[in-house]
Amino acid sequence: MRIRLPILASTAVLTVCAAGGWTRAEAASAAQPIVAQIAVERPARPVSRYEYGMFIENLGQLVYRSLWAQMLDDRKFFEPIRPAGALPAKPVSGFARVFVLRHWHPIGAPESVTMDPRHPFVGAHSARIALAGDTVRGIRQRGLAVLAGKRYTGYIYLRGAPDAHVTVRLRWGPGKHAASSVHLGALTEHYRRYRFAFTAGANSGATSFSVRATGRGSVHIGTVSLMPADNIEGFRRDSIDVLRQLHSGFWRLPGGNFISDFNWYASVGNRDTRAPYLDHAWNAVQSNDVGLDEFMTLCRLLHVAPYVTVNAGFGDAHSAAAEVKYLNAPASTRLGALRARNGHPRPYDVKFWNIGNEPYGPWELGHTSLKDYVWKNNEFAHVMLHADPHIVLLASGAMPDEMTVEGIARKLGHPSDQIALCSHEDWTCAYLKHSWGEFRGITEHWYARAGMHFDLARARAGLRIDHMEPGYVPAHESVLQWVRAPAQRVRLKAQEWQAYERRFPAMRRAGIFMSIDEYAYTGAPPNLKLALAYAMVLNEMLRHTDFLRMSAFTMGVSTMDFTRTRAALNTTGLLFKLYGEHFGPGLLPVPVGGDAPPPAPRQQLVPGIRPQSAGSPTYPLDVEAALTSDRRHLIVAVVNATAHTQRLALNLTGARLLAGGHYWEMTGPGLQAANRIGHTPQVQVREHRLTGPANPLRVAPISIDIYRLTLAGAVH
C-alpha cells in the first residue's frame, strides 16, 4: 500500500452535499419502473469464499492500536527515555515519522534514568534507574485508557540491587483512591519476570502506568507488558468479536509496503526477546510483537484463511522459501521443528502466497526495473514451489491503468504518459510472457480518491495538488457520479484482463485468475454514502467471478469504528456483513441486462481499450443477481443511490418467480448517516418479508437491498 493522503472535505464534495447532490434526470427516473433482464439460465462460476477478503499491514502502529491488546507503547525501550517535552538528540531517520508513539518519561531526576547498552535484555539497550534512598525514581507512560471494573494484567522483567523496592502503579485519576499499586518481590542480579494485575476504578482516557523504585543501587527494566485480562491470545477480544461478523474468507498479511523491510526470521520466537526496530518503509518504530505466528493466530481466531506476502523488496528467494517451510513443513523438518519449539507443532498449511508488494512502484524498498523483477519473481517462484509444491503463487502485477493513474508512466518518460497493453512497462503482461508456469494468479491494486478526478491532460503537464499524484483535480460530481466512481476502476481492470485472455488463450485453459489484493475509496469518512459506493464495487467484482476470484479490502480494520477500549462495525463493515451473509460463497451469478445504460466514462486511460461504464444497464439503480447453489432461489442485490423510491421490474428468462420472499435493507436517515461508538447506530440492516407478488420491487432511497426470491422449480 502506498500512502494515499485523505481528502476529507474537498470543496467539490461539500458543494454536492449542500446542494442535495442529485441531478434532475436522476430524480425523474423514479417516475417509471426500471426493467432488469435476468438470464437465470446462464449462471457463471460460483462466488468463492475469497471474494470478500481483507488486507492488513503493520502500517506504523495500526495493527497494535486496533487488533493487538498491548496497551503500552515502546515496551522494549527502542527510544531513549527523556523528560516530557525534550527533543531527541538527533532524528532516527531523515524522513518524517508517519506515526508517533507514546513515550516513557522519567520520575524524579531526569539524569537518574539512562539507557544501558551493556548486556541488554532485548534490543540495543535496557532502561537503568539509579536509586536514591527513599526518593522515588522510575518511569511513567501517560495516555492509556481503562474501563471501570475491568481487570488488567501484566508482567515486567527486572534485575537489580537486592535492597531495591519496586512498585508498579496504574492511575486513572487524581487522588490517592484513583490508583492501584502492586509491590513486586525481591530483585536479583539476573532478569526475572514479575506478574501484576489491576482493576480500574473508573472510566478514563488519561490513565498512566508507572514503575517506581526506592532503595540503593540500581534497577534495570528489560521489558514490560500490560493488557486487558480478557484478551484472546494477545488480541483485543472486542475487535475479534466484531471482525468475525465479516465472513471474510481470507486475510492478506502482513503485506503492504511494510513487507519490503520485513525480516520474518526476527518475527518469530519469544515476543519479549524479539528486538524492536525502525520500519524504514513507514519510518515507524515496530515493537515486533505481532509476527508470523501471531498473524496465523489472528486468522485462526477470525476463522479465515491466511494469505501471506513475502519480502521481494530487500528480501531474497532463499528467505522466502524458508518462510514457506516454517509455516507449512512438518515438525520433523528443521524449520518445522523451529515452529514447533515456538509453540506451534502443527503446520499452518498456508495455501495462498504473494511474491512482493507493488514492486512496480518506486516507493517500494528494493524497487527494480520490470526486466530485473521478472527474473527475481521467477527465482522466488522456483524455490518456493520446491519448498511446497501445493501452494498457490500469485505474481504482483500492475496493468496499464495503474501505471498511468499512479504517475509511473510519466516518470518512465512515456511521451503520452500512458502505457499501452503489453508494452514494455506492462507488469501484468510481462508475467504472462516471461513467467508462465511460475504463478496461478496475478494481483492488482487500485485506490480511488473521493472527491477527486484524474485528468490525463493535467497529468501530462505534471500538475498536482499538494501531495497527490499529478493529474488529480477536485471533481464536481453528483451523488450518483461520486458513488459510481470507484467501481469504474474494477470494470476497467476487467476489460484489460479480458484483453489479455484474447492475447493469451492459455490463461483460461490454465485457470489463471486475478486477485484485487488492495482497494479502497480513500479520503471519505465511513458513512452511508461510502457504503453505497462500496456496494457498487462489490457488485462489479461479482460480475466477473469467472476470473476475479479473490479480493482484499484495505484495511480489514477499516470496517470498524474503534477506540482504545471499544470496537463496533462501522457502515463499511455492516455492508461486508450484509454481502457475506446474503450474497456469499456458492451463489451462481447470472447476467443482468436492461435498456438504461449508465453514463459513459469521461476519458480513455488505456490506449486501445474503449472504456465501458461500470454497473448494470438499469441506471440509476445498480443490480446484480445470482442463483442459490440448489438453483431454487434468486438473489438480487440492488443499490439505489438516489433520493427517491425506485420501482424495479424483474424480467426473467429461463425461470418464473413465485410470490413472496425476503429482503434485507441497509439504509439510514441521510447520506452522512454513520455508526459511531457512543452513539445510536444511524445505519441498520433490517429484514422484511414480501407477502404479495415480488414484481415489481420497491427499492427505498439511498439503500442497499438484497432480495431472496423463490423460483417456480429449480433452474436446469
Of 474, 643, 620, nearest to 15 by C-alpha is 474
Percent share of the chain, pLDDT over 70: 93
Task: Give residue-wise pLDDT tens across range 11-51.
Answer: 223 333 333 465 555 555 556 899 999 999 999 999 999 99
Give the Å distances, CA to CA, from 418 to 205, 294, 358, 404, 491: 50, 42, 18, 5, 18
CATH 3.30.110.40 fits 105-228, yes or no: no
Chain mean position to CA 592: 31
Report the 10 Å Cβ neighbour count for 32: 10
Residue 604 has pLDDT above 70, yes or no: yes
Residue 59 buriedness (CB in 10 A; 0-12 / 13-18 / 19+): buried
Chain region(s) in the chain for CATH 3.20.20.80: 11-30+44-67+233-587
Task: Give residue-wise pLDDT tens across range 230-257.
Answer: 999 999 999 999 999 999 999 999 989 9
Phi and psi, residue 407, nearest 5°: 80, 10
At the top level of CATH, which class does the domain 11-30+44-67+233-587 belong to?
alpha beta
- What distance separates the 2 farthest-apart alpha carbons in the chain? 89
Banded pLDDT at 7 (limits 50, 70, 90): very low
Task: Give residue-wise pLDDT tens across range 482-539.
Answer: 999 999 999 999 999 999 999 999 999 999 999 999 999 999 999 999 999 999 999 9
Residues paired with 296 in a beta bridge: none
Of 600, 604, 628, nearest to 615 by C-alpha is 600
Using an 8 Å Cβ cutoff, are 593 and 94 in contact? no
> What pLDDT sits at residue 652?
95
Task: Give residue-wise pLDDT tens across range 310-330.
Answer: 999 999 999 999 999 999 999
Q: What is the mean pLDDT of the chain?
A: 91
> What pLDDT sits at residue 34?
96
> What pLDDT sits at residue 91?
45
Residue 187 has pLDDT above 90, yes or no: yes
> What pLDDT sits at residue 281?
87
E-assigned strand segments in 576-683: 588-590, 592-593, 622-627, 633-640, 646-653, 661-667
Question: What's 264's DSSP letter?
Answer: G
Chain region(s) in the chain for CATH 2.60.120.260: 105-228
Which residue type, as a one-letter code, is found at position 483? V
Buried b (16+ CB within 10 A) or exposed e, 166-178: bbbbbbbeeeeee
Residue 6 has pLDDT above 80, yes or no: no
Using an 8 Å Cβ cutoff, are 661 and 696 in contact? no
> What pLDDT sits at residue 8?
32
